[in-house]
Structure 1
Amino acid sequence: MDKADLDNEKTYDEKRDAESHALELNEEDDSPIEEVRVTISNTDDPQMPCNTFRMWFLGLLWTAIISFVNQFFYMRQTQISIGYAVVALLSLPMGHFMARVLPTSQFKFFGRSFSLNPGPFSIKEHVLIGTMVSCNTSTAYAVDIVVLQKIFYHSHTPFLGGLLLVLTTQVTGFALAGALRKFLIRPAHMIWPSTLVTASLFRSLHVNSTTETEEDRGRMTRMKYFLLVTLGSFIYYFFPGFIFPTIGYIAWICWINPDNIILAQLTGANGLGIGVIAFDWSALVYYVQPLVTPWFAQINILVGFILVVYVMVPWAYYTNLWESQNYPILSAELFRTNGSYWDKDKVLVGGHLDPEKYLEYGPMRMDSFFALTYGVGFAGLTATVVHVVLYNGRELVQRWKSARLENEDIHSRLMRVYPEVPDWWYGSLFVISLGLSFVACVVYEYMPWWAVFLAMAISMFFVLPVGIVQAVTNQQPGLNIITEYVIGYMLPGDPIANVTFKTYGYIVNLQALTFTSDLKLGHYMKIPPRIMFMAQLISTLIACTINLLTALWLLDTRPNICTPEGKPFTCRSTKTFYSASIIWGAVAPARVFGNKDDAWYAPVQWGFIVGALLPIPFWYASRKFPNVGWLKLVHWPVLLAATSNMPPALPYFYTNGLFVGFIFAFVLRRYRYNWWSRYNYLTSAAMDTGVAISGLFIFFALQSWEAKFPVWWGNPEGAVDHCPKAGFALKNEFDWESEL
């Protein structure tokens, strides 16, 4: 640490007592944002322990466990992911136990005194443990590249090359997060809705009789409510998850005539899902997150969903656009022109496309829904940039010019007590990560050096506009399409370079926003920023290494892994990753969206221009007619990103999730505000926790031992929704019934 930093630290120490005294609060000194005001405490105790032995021990222990378990199950046919809520519950009794048994003696270490047991297990320690896990709940994306090389392309890269690839793609995003603090964390209106659920969970786990207010007297405590809802969710999930799967997607309209292909396509769970009723919480929250996402954002999602799924897709399919009636109405598969499946092995030689064999075998086709969603995704990207420039541009320029913390809310003022992370920490981390990225990509021949620069440029260009959208609406437009598209034109026929470029362009952006979200949680929960920095960085480095070692161990020890014969290690998600490398890398977008070798889907590229134009008239109208409130709520990035998760998401996920959102985010908030302000976010956390624990129990205690519930009407062997022809093509040139 240099002299400037030491002086800065001393200044903070001298100001601490004065500022702590100055931040004595009254009831009116609170956040201007209603959702934050009813969820986050407007007080803080700077003396509460957080940087403790207990925190580091439990945080790193759970990081190692989660990294191994989630990577292990990621490669199985049935994936299980242990998430944030489960670890929060299990680490709580462990923390209290350590607070009871560890010695309270003071120890000296490098001239500093510390205790293994500084007092009761605190909520700040708990939040840091959860943060270390949340950084690494999803397995490292780049591990799939290592698996791809070894299993599908039969090439080998030394362990160090794979490790550098995995580490740099995960950590570089963390370095970018530091540059976003002024724009996405300190402003009060950047609320990050998902962090409110997490904060509500932790507050409920640590509330006690001494912290209850007068308003709480005579009402069910948050902790009791959380436990009851979690228990109910745990018990109930046995029905859609094991005993009665049909209630997860009741396609009652299709039952009128399940042999009618058009009716099945429109009303089946695997079709457009009109009228499907879902009693499965995991489906309801898959994308919409109805209790968390603001109501105005849900309205935008609904409009976008209707335009794409109920207007554009039926029009395209039933007018036979791109001969789409040869294929199912909703599918992520690739086809030949006659409707049969397109076999990539017929046209690849050594993992690269053979142009002559491609012309001989025939072009690759997709259903109209799949093609249209690409076009909508193109539009969503440009709409995001234009929307943020129009609606947030002036504020961004002001914040760029000035480092002053203007218009701070109470939470920003409370955080002034703690020393901020110096910019040079983040800058040094970025420089080191970038340098190691060049080593990984150039030395180990993943992609050319200039591609590293370009991928980073795309990620950095979009990180702020995408972050603003996510911070306000809880929705995140992804960059996977644009990164594949760009490098697919620049390096056609090179699938490994394509997925590597996508990983640096997309995952660096995604990781930056994941880390930023965690920093916002730390902001709400008053976690010292420097401790948060170290916890995030160290846990990520450990998790990445364990992810890669676990995958390599499975590749070396499981026979026939990533093949049907290797069941249950069939690598379903990795196969999807492989298919993307074929579409965008080997075949390349010129043969899909261009005009080369009988490509059909070039019109969807107009989405880039359409998306850039759409926000302009609505922005102009909102300024021209400021009293028309709904004009300010039209959010084209969210509207266009509504169907970005389809497939694998299905239409009934949206319709049922938005219905639940109407009840909680609109009706209960407007007409039962007291209940909503106390229990809404807690309900979301409790339902998620119950489903997660129940899903783990069903898998480990029953399914892993080959235990199956008896076959009956509610648990059939075939189509669970009793609508099997939803996946059929309208024109039966190809024998779909024998195939499906």
Structure 2
Amino acid sequence: MADRATEKAPVVERTGVHGTYPGPLQKLPDYADEVITKVEHDLVITGNDLAKVQEAAKELGLEETRQVLRDVVQIHENDQNFPIQVLQSMKDFLANDNILDNPDKYETLIAEMRVEAALIKDDSAYPEVRAVVDNTDDPTLPCSTIRAWTIGIIYVSAGVLINQLFYIRQPSITLESNVAQLLAYPAGKAWEAWVPSREFKLFGQTHNLNPGKFNKKEHMLITIMANVGFTTPYTTDIIFFSYQTLITLGTNFIGYGIAGLTRQFLVYPAHCVWPASLVTIALSQSFHTESDLPVLGPFKSIYSTTRLKLFTLAFFGMFVYFWFPGYIFQALSFFSWLSWIAPDNLNLATITGMNNGLVSHPTDRVMHFPMITMSAADFYRPRATGVNPLPTFDWNVLVLDQGSSPLVLPFFFWWNAFIGIVTGAFVILGLWYTNTYNTGYLPINTPRVFDHFADYYNVSRAIDHRGIFDPAKYEAYSPPFLSAGYLTVYLYFFGIYTCVLTWTFLYHRHEIWKGLKNLFRRRHNVLHPDVHNCLMSRYPECPEWWYLLVLLASIGVSLGAILGWPTYTSAGVVFSGIALCLVFVVPVGIVNAITGFEITLNVLAEFIGGAWNQGNALGMNYFKAFGYVTCSHTLRFSKDLKLAHYSKIPPRHTFAGQMVATLVASFVAVSILNFQMTQIPGVCTATQKDHYTCPGINQFFTAAVLWGTVGPKKVFGSGGMYTALLVGFPIGVIVPLAVYFARRYFPTQRWLRDIHPPAFFYGSIYYAPYNWSYLWPGVVVSYLSHIWLKTRHTAFWAKYNYVLSAAFSSGVAIAAIAAIVIFFALQMQHVSIDWWGNNVVAQGCEDTPCVRHVLGEGEYFGLRMGEFH
């Protein structure tokens, strides 16, 4: 299989359940038409894909077929992405001993199983992967070229420069890496056309300034460099000292070292799909695919539009449409039509309001950019549960981030998350309406922290001149209070951590054990014998010890920074933080790789770090950096390793690309940060004339003092105000156990297989600041894509679904760049469009958050002065 060729066989046409498709010129296999039709339907496979495996199926013997199916059943037994009807057919086939004794009587069944086994062996078992990922490779395509490295480094430098420059501005602006992917194509084609072809030797190898046609491997290498390089270092929120470069490099490369060591768990296995990577591949394929066959689609029509043409039309369509909900008619974005009926009705706005306060007051509003990542403070303003069946007409609102498109993430995720967010809504409403924990005095759904005067918590009133917790000042001021939405988020966050550990032990322990046994073996294509591993086996692998050296070196750099400067903490934060990451990285990574959503460790890191470093906010922050940030980096690097794996980029080229891009980005980000801190007058002050007020950093400081200086012991410890929320930890164990035993006792209830407890808990942590209105549209769109369209018009869905998602995301990204320029121009001139379609989104409680109980002059709620410590 490793020697698969890319040549094209002569074809003839055949009509199947999903339309006309080419098949091998040779006579079709001697399977009954009903077998082919059943396989197409069960496997959600296009006729074109089926034709490719028919010849391979002829060569499979009965015993080999059974062995392939045994492996499939073991690996995909609890895989919600794998078709349940196919899995059950395989189980029935393997359980029938009569097949071995009388194979002639089961010719039709054997034929079907041989086709299914050949498909899984020769291609991906997932229609999502087959839709965009080639199961062939051309090893002669140049990848690590001067062209790719030059464009990649320039784009990484420019991207992180812009992101870091505007990170501390209000509002902040972040460019996503898909901008680099989109712009890399014209840059590569321009290089192809204008740069002369000249060979030269470098480090003993021959290179060419212009190696010919700009190809998809070069394009993907540039994209991977942008993926890892566009992110501003998290540690810039912690430090502004001379050792920041060491800390930045340490946290980045620790994540990279762990990512390389977890490839056996998160990259090589076929069930680790990493759904978000499919959009990136689809965008690349739309530029580089030469053959584009017509497909049968809705309304029994043949659709011959190429992927590139669809991408172009959808891209420009979204680019134009962006301006209507984003600037001209903002009610299309926040379509809180139910609350418009009575804007000042407290109950109506609380339950149905979508985004009160997200945009500024109508007299100050210029433009909103939901898809440009705003500062933390900007997104802390929605204060309602958002129960609304028709909440938005804006793709920006529907897609909360680049990887969460409902056209990409599987439907079972959206459905489970929606059940979770509905459950969370009842918890929030119960807390707020009963005034439990005094939540009735506060906005219902915000992650801001308040004092007992219902004002934002002023941390300076609880610390001394050194920034250290002052018990006397704290007792003379106030404990911290949280909204009903924020309390619910903490409850479900505590639950999701124990849930993901329990869930992965129950359903993925065999894969984890297999990965542990195979960790330092070289032949991953033998250990994971799917087609993509076999194709990648022709390239030299990066041995684990390379990544181990990177990990050890980055730990050394981190220790040098922690111990060499006055960080007021010990080396233990490095090792304990990494230990936290190692415990969770595989369970969280498996869930992320299968479902597409990431369970972040920030709350757990704050909880443990604050309890361990009681009174030391800086120590808590370092623990958080080495526990949460390194794990997040690991997952991002792992996703890119899978992206390179699917794209057949040589592993050592990927290694070099990620290392260089991260190194360049780290130095650029730190340099820009130092420029900002030393050359911008009044930086990080509320009156800075160019709005470089550092809202995210200030909010980070507030959180650091609350959970590091004040500490979680006072909040969640014995006798603490919110101790009861710790019940989330045992609930997180109970829920997956209940699902596990329910599935064992009721094996015929297929709907139980679609229950995914981590996704359920994830739904409820959408609150504070988001709400029901942000998640519900994704359920509808995902159903139309992954259930209705994929099963009825598979070929149409396979050809266009991911390209459409890539086009929408790219259109928004480029429109956002244009909007930046206009935003600043209009802001300086105080220009806005003042009409009902913009003003209605900020009426009544949608503008100023409403509360159930209002304090009188001089009153405060909660414990009396002197009763809290």
TM-score by length of 1: 0.91
CA distance in 2, matches of 1:725, 1:709: 17
* The one of 684, 703, 717 aligned to 2:805: 684
Contact 1:255 1:723 in 2 (8 A): no
* The one of 269, 281, 290 aligned to 1:187: 269
| Equivalent position SS for 2:729 | helix
CA distance in 1, matches of 2:652, 2:843: 51
Task: Give the corresponding residue for 1:15.
Answer: none
CA distance in 2, matches of 1:110, 1:676: 47
CA distance in 2, matches of 1:185, 1:624: 33
Task: Give the corresponding residue for 2:619.
Answer: 497
CA distance in 2, matches of 1:712, 1:607: 46
Q: Does 1:387 align with 2:500?
A: no
CA distance in 1, matches of 2:847, 2:197: 67
1:426-484 deviation line (CA, Å, top 9, x unaligned): 01111101111111112223321112111010011100000000001111111001111
**Change beyond 3 A, Cα 1:234–1:24:** closer
* The one of 375, 383, 387 aligned to 1:274: 387
Superposed displacement of residue 674, structure 1? 2.9
Q: Does 1:308 align with 2:421?
A: no
Q: Does 1:587 align with 2:716?
A: no
* The one of 226, 229, 233 aligned to 2:311: 226
Q: Does 1:20 align with 2:133?
A: no
Superposed displacement of residue 219, structure 1? 0.4
State the one-letter code of the partner of 2:292.
E
Superposed displacement of residue 396, structure 1? 1.7
Task: Give the corresponding residue for 1:4.
Answer: none
* The one of 647, 652, 670 aligned to 1:530: 652
Contact 1:266 1:726 in 2 (8 A): no
Superposed displacement of residue 40, structure 1? 0.9
CA distance in 2, matches of 1:721, 1:131: 44
* RMSD, aligned α-carbons: 2.1
Contact 2:230 2:665 in 1 (8 A): no
State the one-letter code of the partner of 2:488.
L
* The one of 166, 169, 182 aligned to 2:248: 166
Superposed displacement of residue 304, structure 1? 0.8
CA distance in 2, matches of 1:562, 1:669: 50
1:21-64 deviation line (CA, Å, top 9, x unaligned): 67989812321111111121111100001010001100000010
Contact 1:243 1:709 in 2 (8 A): no
Superposed displacement of residue 407, structure 1? 5.0
CA distance in 1, matches of 2:772, 2:682: 35
CA distance in 2, matches of 1:498, 1:114: 49
| Equivalent position SS for 2:337 | coil
| Equivalent position SS for 1:138 | coil
Q: Does 1:284 align with 2:398?
A: yes
Task: Give the corresponding residue for 1:13.
Answer: none
State the one-letter code of the partner of 2:220.
V
Unaligned runs of 5+ in 2: 9-50, 54-121, 297-301, 356-383, 859-869
CA distance in 1, matches of 2:841, 2:728: 36
Q: Does 1:325 align with 2:440?
A: yes
Range with bigger deviation, 107-116 or 61-70: 107-116
State the one-letter code of the partner of 1:58.
I
Q: Does 1:129 align with 2:249?
A: no
Range with bigger deviation, 230-239 or 648-657: 648-657
Q: Does 1:613 align with 2:726?
A: no
Q: Does 1:397 align with 2:518?
A: no
Range with bigger deviation, 388-397 or 554-563: 554-563
CA distance in 2, matches of 1:22, 1:684: 30
Contact 1:241 1:695 in 2 (8 A): no
| Equivalent position SS for 2:838 | coil
CA distance in 1, matches of 2:156, 2:528: 37
**Change beyond 3 A, Cα 1:218–1:620:** closer
Contact 2:411 2:779 in 1 (8 A): no
Superposed displacement of residue 242, structure 1? 1.3
CA distance in 2, matches of 1:170, 1:406: 29
Superposed displacement of residue 646, structure 1? 3.1
* The one of 567, 572, 593 aligned to 1:471: 593
Superposed displacement of residue 68, structure 1? 0.3
Superposed displacement of residue 215, structure 1? 5.3
Superposed displacement of residue 180, structure 1? 1.5
CA distance in 1, matches of 2:136, 2:837: 51
Point out 4+ residue stretches in structure 1 off by more than 6 angstroms. Answer: 22-26
CA distance in 1, matches of 2:824, 2:857: 33
Superposed displacement of residue 339, structure 1? 2.3
Number of residue pairs matched by the alignment? 702
CA distance in 2, matches of 1:387, 1:445: 41
Task: Give the corresponding residue for 1:212.
Answer: 292
CA distance in 1, matches of 2:679, 2:437: 45
Task: Give the corresponding residue for 2:755.
Answer: 634
Task: Give the corresponding residue for 1:72.
Answer: 165
* The one of 195, 200, 216 aligned to 1:102: 195
CA distance in 1, matches of 2:654, 2:857: 57
Range with bigger deviation, 469-478 or 182-191: 182-191
Superposed displacement of residue 727, structure 1? 1.6
Superposed displacement of residue 321, structure 1? 0.9
Q: Does 1:258 align with 2:381?
A: no
Superposed displacement of residue 625, structure 1? 2.8
**Change beyond 3 A, Cα 1:120–1:222:** same
Task: Give the corresponding residue for 2:486.
Answer: 370
CA distance in 2, matches of 1:291, 1:215: 19
State the one-letter code of the partner of 2:221.
L
**What does 1:27-42 align with in structure 2 at a 5 Å threshold?**
27-28=52-53, 29-42=122-135
| Equivalent position SS for 2:239 | helix
Contact 1:618 1:634 in 2 (8 A): yes
Q: Does 1:731 align with 2:824?
A: no
Q: Select the structure of larger CA radius of gyration.
A: 2
Task: Give the corresponding residue for 2:821.
Answer: 700
CA distance in 1, matches of 2:781, 2:652: 39
| Equivalent position SS for 2:837 | coil
Q: Which fold has the larger relative contact order, with Cα–Cα distance below 8 Å and residues 6 or more apart in sequence? A: 1
Superposed displacement of residue 593, structure 1? 1.1
Contact 2:581 2:631 in 1 (8 A): yes
State the one-letter code of the partner of 1:394.
H
| Equivalent position SS for 1:47 | coil
Contact 2:785 2:801 in 1 (8 A): yes
CA distance in 2, matches of 1:506, 1:603: 25
Task: Give the corresponding residue for 2:467.
Answer: 351
Superposed displacement of residue 659, structure 1? 2.5
Range with bigger deviation, 341-350 or 167-176: 341-350
| Equivalent position SS for 1:274 | coil
CA distance in 1, matches of 2:674, 2:547: 31
Task: Give the corresponding residue for 2:696.
Answer: 573
CA distance in 2, matches of 1:215, 1:685: 20
Contact 2:354 2:385 in 1 (8 A): yes
Task: Give the corresponding residue for 1:646.
Answer: 767
Task: Give the corresponding residue for 2:784.
Answer: 663
Task: Give the corresponding residue for 2:38.
Answer: none
CA distance in 2, matches of 1:548, 1:721: 42
1:284-338 deviation line (CA, Å, top 9, x unaligned): 01065211110111111111111112x1111111111111111111112222234
State the one-letter code of the partner of 1:282.
N
| Equivalent position SS for 2:450 | coil
**Change beyond 3 A, Cα 1:466–1:679:** same
Aligned-pair identity (%)? 33
CA distance in 2, matches of 1:201, 1:441: 42
**Change beyond 3 A, Cα 1:735–1:197:** farther
TM-score by length of 2: 0.78
Contact 2:488 2:764 in 1 (8 A): no
Contact 2:168 2:697 in 1 (8 A): yes
CA distance in 2, matches of 1:70, 1:19: 42
CA distance in 2, matches of 1:132, 1:587: 40
1:147-194 deviation line (CA, Å, top 9, x unaligned): 4xxxxxxxxx3x2x1110111111110000111111111111111000
Superposed displacement of residue 227, structure 1? 0.6
Q: Does 1:89 align with 2:182?
A: yes
Task: Give the corresponding residue for 1:60.
Answer: 153
CA distance in 2, matches of 1:722, 1:692: 32
